[in-house]
Structure 1
């Protein structure tokens, strides 16, 4: 008979599964309340009560209230850098990012900005969420700059990858905002996808003269 200390509690996999379930429950409850009564008007205490957990449990999983609403933020900030790191042989950073955006738009990916009308309105109506979203765009651009520096063998912080990241990040930021704008007009995802894929072709095309071969794998 084993006396392993780990046998006194549930297996690690089960504990992690329960944590993920709790996190998802809190996120789902919070989103429902945000959509029903507005982000600014909803308190952490209300979310905790609705989810039937302690207030501290909510803040342990989500240190900031904005984290409850923008639960794709980690994937969002890493998305452009990840595309550059995983680009195909012979593919430039611009080509990889252009391809990845077209794929995301075709799939109506929430990380690209396809959030649905109610969610888009919630963000537009909240100064806190709008400000946090701008911060996330900045963080995504900074991560892209580091990925471009690594891809080209430049020091992190070098002006060239930072400038390239600023240009590429600006296109993605503009397209994200465009998706949100079209969502707020009530257009469905299929129509929005068709519009922004065509517009993305023009937007990325503006960068071809300077970045067509930059950071080719």
Structure 2
């Protein structure tokens, strides 16, 4: 059971992220300072940095959740299910749910535009993908006899990133989430069907 202290910390972290994200989307990431975020969230600058080492991490506040989802998908899979199949299942489920970490909703367009408008956020997004790939490689190594878990993880995440980027591009061009989601699920399955030919 989560303690009161842990709940309070989670609430503070979420409040900082929510307040900052609205400011970033409204004004542009590079035009918002940590001092302004702290004031708007009613905390000190030190408190902000206690929860988020860098300003970019406030915007990408779901990074830890992404790692937990990847880890759980592979670690908790059925005995006869490979890591590749487990990740396919996760990506399809996220798309079906419109999950912020792997799905599409019309309101996400403002988030993606904010990323594209900031070199700092684009750089942090690339770092985040590298971190997720390393996390995936680690759990594959721990739960399977894959001789090259780093390669498997890179192929999985590379395939997903390519397919997801296509969906984001369509959304930015004006397509709706409903239109994109159905095609995205087909594209995910097609990509993983191709991977299955070389990775079990």
Q: Which TM-score applies when normalising by structure 1? A: 0.83
Give the direction of change, closer, same or farther, for the CA distance of 1:195–1:57 in structure 2 (3 Å limit). same
Deviation, 1:113, is: 5.0
Say whether residues 1:72 and 2:62 are aligned partners: yes
Bigger radius of gyration, 1 or 2? 1
**Matched residues in 1 for 2:137 and 2:116: separation?**
28
Q: Which TM-score applies when normalising by structure 2? A: 0.89
- Whether the 8 Å CA contact 1:27–1:69 is kept in 2: the answer is yes
**Matched residues in 2 for 1:113 and 1:125: separation?**
21
Deviation, 1:75, is: 1.7
Deviation, 1:202, is: 1.5
**Matched residues in 1 for 2:9 and 2:154: separation?**
37
- Structure 2's unaligned 5+ residue stretches are none
Q: Residue 86 of structure 1 aligns with which residue?
A: 76
The count of corresponding residues between Structure 1 and Structure 2 is 197
**Matched residues in 1 for 2:67 and 2:170: separation?**
22
Q: Which has the higher contact order (CA 8 A, sep 6+)?
A: 1
**Matched residues in 1 for 2:103 and 2:150: separation?**
24
Q: Residue 178 of structure 1 aligns with which residue?
A: 166
Say whether residues 1:197 and 2:185 are aligned partners: yes
Deviation, 1:14, is: 3.0
- Whether the 8 Å CA contact 2:24–2:114 is kept in 1: the answer is yes
Q: 1:104 aligns with which of 70, 94, 102?
A: 94
